[in-house]
């Protein structure tokens, strides 16, 4: 089963052990996180115009 794959000590990160779909999901999640964080910091860096 899948638990045996995860228990193997082959020094691979978890997201690479379960195949392509898991790797793509991981990449998408990391990309979205980085993009969201940078957009948030960018928005915080620009002073809002008060009128």
- Is 12 part of any domain? yes
Structural domain of 14 = 2-45
The string of pLDDT tens digits covering residues 1-51 is 667 766 777 777 766 677 788 888 889 999 999 999 999 999 888 887 777
Contacts of 8 (CB under 8 A, 6+ apart): 17
pTM over 0.75: no
Q: What is the pLDDT of residue 6?
A: 65
Token couple for 24: 């793509």
Contacts of 6 (CB under 8 A, 6+ apart): 14, 17, 18
Specify the 3-state DSSP secondary structure of 50.
coil
Domain assignment present for 22: yes
State how many domains the chain has: 1
Model pLDDT, residue 36: 93
On whether residue 50 sits in a domain, the answer given is no
| pLDDT at residue 2, rounded to an integer | 67
């Amino acid at each position: 089963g899948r638990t045996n794959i995860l228990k193997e000590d082959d020094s691979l990160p978890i997201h690479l052990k379960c195949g392509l779909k898991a790797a793509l999901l991981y990449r998408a999640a990391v990309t979205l996180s980085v993009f969201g964080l940078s957009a948030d910091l960018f928005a915080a860096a620009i002073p809002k115009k008060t009128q």
